[in-house]
Amino acid sequence: MPDNQVVAPSLSVLRERHSSKWRRFSPDVLPMHVAEMDFQVAEPIQAVLTEMIQNSDLGYLGPVPEVAEAFAEFAATRWNWPVDAKQVKMATDVGVAAVEIFRALGKPGDHVVINTPVYSAFFGWLAETHLTPMDVPLVQSGSEWLLDLEGLEQAFAAGAKFYLLCHPHNPLGKVFTREELTAVATLAARYNVLVISDEIHAPLTYAGEVFTPYLNCGPDAEATGVTITSSSKSWNTAGLKAAIVVSQSSEVAAKLAKLPPDMHWRSSLLGGFAMVEAYRNGTTWLNSAIEAIEANYQHMVSEVAAKLPGVVIHRPVSGYLSWWDVSALKLGTEPGKVILERAKVAVVEGSDLGGAAAAKYTGFIRFNFGTSPANITEAIDRIAAIGK
């Protein structure tokens, strides 16, 4: 398909793929769990990968200034963010980037602030580096989930060393405002907290919505922040293993100088040059993907309203993950497990995104709608059939 028409192939074609999404469960399970889209890869990325393979150009990653240059160009155009290309480092993926930062700058027992419900891998990164999560949960106000700025200040004042921010937020698809981020930066500067902003979903922010990079929120943000990101989530190339670490000040750059030099060489050659193509030539595909995702969201909401009365979906403004309150279905404390066993649909259990606060989210699931409308309908029909 051309880049101005992003479409998920049929389920029979999808089942021929080799990724975890399609191999983790038996063939009778419809996978709506892992954060991976079903759309075709953008033409420029396909072209550069094909050319490199045909030329047997599959060696180790060497100097690749094109990555920083391409990201800086994209950030300037998309978000009006003047990135310093000299402060962009390569990493294998955002998880490796976070782990290496924690290893270089932290010590066992240091506290890291997070905001549950949040991407479950955050807990694994902290366990791997022997750091301690300090949860400041998002506050639910009506249909909104908000940062608890008072809670953040209390955590920072109590000695937190890091704040691992998920922005846009997974699973909520929420972007934080410039005002919120500026307030966070003020607090981080006051209490000497390093803010690690995971912005991997940012390019998928919907039309008419505003994504503000943390590092583009003034001097305090620049002095306290580091961004970890990649093209892999927004252009659906997670298997290519390449990401970047971005700083914006001499203070943070000096801290990141402690990162192991080999972090660069452990990234993928194919991933690096796929990232260049995504940021430089992937905008047509990206905009088409966002249109498809927004249409899928509306379709999902309509189907849920008609077939799963009482289920509440938080409206995302970025990405293809949705946070469902399924308490009304009365599926117990592990609704995801029930949905998998009885409906043969794989979703992410809400409690998996809660860490020590898991009990707060037992009535929720995360549902991936980055697929075809037909698959969304099939999944909802299967869930609706549980009670029949």
153 lies in the same domain as 278: yes
225 lies in the same domain as 308: no
Whether the CB-CB separation of 367 and 350 falls below 8 Å is answered with no
3-state SS assignment for residue 97: helix
Please identify, among 249, 282, 315, the residue that sits at the C-terminal boundary of a domain. Answer: 282
Q: Nearest-CA neighbor of 120 among 379, 376, 357?
A: 357
**Rg of the chain's alpha carbons, rounded to an integer?**
20
CB contact set of 125 (below 8 Å; sequence gap of 6+): 95, 98, 99, 102, 164
Whether the CB-CB separation of 271 and 241 falls below 8 Å is answered with yes
Structure tokens at 193: 């907290």
Whether the CB-CB separation of 367 and 324 falls below 8 Å is answered with yes
Whether 218 is covered by a domain: the verdict is yes
Burial grade of 27 (CB within 10 A; 0-12, 13-18, 19 or more):
exposed
80 lies in the same domain as 167: yes
Name the domain count of the chain: 2
Q: Which domain holds residue 95?
A: 48-282
77 lies in the same domain as 184: yes
* pLDDT number for residue 261: 92
Pairing of strands 243-246, 225-229: antiparallel
DSSP state of 205: B
Whether the CB-CB separation of 225 and 84 falls below 8 Å is answered with no
Q: What is the pLDDT of residues 222-241, one digit of tens each?
A: 999 999 999 999 999 999 99
* pLDDT number for residue 144: 86
187 lies in the same domain as 317: no
* pLDDT number for residue 388: 65
* Rounded Cα distance, 177 and 179, in Å: 5
Whether 6 is covered by a domain: the verdict is no
* Rounded Cα distance, 168 and 325, in Å: 20
Whether the CB-CB separation of 104 and 259 falls below 8 Å is answered with yes
Q: Nearest-CA neighbor of 331 among 315, 316, 351?
A: 351
Whether 4 is covered by a domain: the verdict is no
Whether the link from the prior residue into 117 is cis, omega within 30° of 0, is yes
Structure tokens at 247: 């700083």
pLDDT mean values, one per 10 residues, the chain (388 residues): 92 96 97 97 98 98 97 98 98 98 98 98 98 96 90 98 98 97 98 98 98 98 98 97 98 97 95 98 98 98 97 97 97 97 98 96 97 98 90
Dihedrals phi, psi of 185, to nearest 5 degrees:
-60, -40
C-alpha distance from residue 124 to each of 1, 21, 134, 366 (Å): 37, 19, 14, 18
DSSP H or E segment with residue 88: strand 88-91
pTM for the whole structure: 0.97
Whether 85 is covered by a domain: the verdict is yes
Domain of residue 380, CATH code? 3.90.1150.10
Whether 2 is covered by a domain: the verdict is no
* pLDDT number for residue 142: 80
* pLDDT number for residue 13: 96
Q: Would you give the distance in Å from CA 277 to the centre of its chain? A: 20
Domain of residue 68, CATH code? 3.40.640.10
Owner of token pair 């999808």: 14
77 lies in the same domain as 219: yes
Dihedrals phi, psi of 178, to nearest 5 degrees:
-60, -40
Whether 3 is covered by a domain: the verdict is no
Please identify, among 230, 265, 282, the residue that sits at the C-terminal boundary of a domain. Answer: 282
69 lies in the same domain as 147: yes
* Rounded Cα distance, 235 and 203, in Å: 9
Please identify, among 282, 300, 329, the residue that sits at the C-terminal boundary of a domain. Answer: 282
